[in-house]
Structure 1
Amino acid sequence: TLQRILKPYQLPMDRLTLEATERGMIGEDIGLSREVMDSLRGLGAQIALDDFGTGYSSLAYLHTFEFDAIKIDASFVRRIGVDSVSAGVLDAIIDLGHALNVTIVAEGVEKPHQLEFLRKRGVHAAQGWLFAKAMPAAAFIEFVRKSAAK
């Protein structure tokens, strides 16, 4: 079980966020997906809807499943500053996240102007190459140690 796997790491379940994509787990068997997600949430884990807006995108999923966070797909973030239509769509996604009272995370943040745009609109967290590129586990541990020391 997940609890057994995490026990050696002493990670409290409420610090664990698991991601589900619209295209993956959600689209296969809705009943089973909901059962699994409810079970994980019952253990204290958080569930994030990853790549929001790129899959089935039915707003009904936001009622069917209880998500703790939505992760805005990088394809929307890349369009920041490109055109007003893209900005409007992104604003609508952010407003939806606020209305649902979930954590809003932006993926694929690579440039300072993207981060500024997202901060001004109340996005809670961001990830992307602006902060760090993908790295092996050992390098990540060192990165976290150095960051914590600051």
Structure 2
Amino acid sequence: MRMCIDCQQLNKVTIKNKYPLPRINDLFDRLKGVTVFSKIDLRSGYYQLRIKDSDVPKTVFRIKYRHYEFLIMRFGLTNAHSEHAEHLRIVIQTLNDKQLFAKFSKCEFWLRKVGFLGHIISAEGKRVDPSKFQQLLTRNQREMYSKSEAF
């Protein structure tokens, strides 16, 4: 079961993040020239992020006749091998220091190319992920077939 809680009123009075998500082109620009990649998948990612104690009361919700508060967040790299290894060490140390846990079965290290935001990124640059084309072609073929049946 997944709970759905309306956060519209809270969102109206929430101070907006000063650091918006980066634009996709900026992310791709930062990856230019990178030759080695690693992917780390945080296990239950949101659920590892604690809400500041002062903000916990703002998350109150009610089920039947009881009130509850969220204590955790809810839903609503480099060119050289040695440098890459150092970045991995920093990331893993940071995860360890913050007591964040990765799902090792979904982690991949020392990759020459990596899927990222619907693209394949490698030392040669970026290209659209071919599997995305296949999904689009399959969908279009089904739509054309059903339209021809309707005719």
TM-score (norm 2): 0.25
Q: Using CA pairs below 8 Å that are at least 6 residues apart, which structure has the higher relative contact order?
A: 2
TM-score (norm 1): 0.25
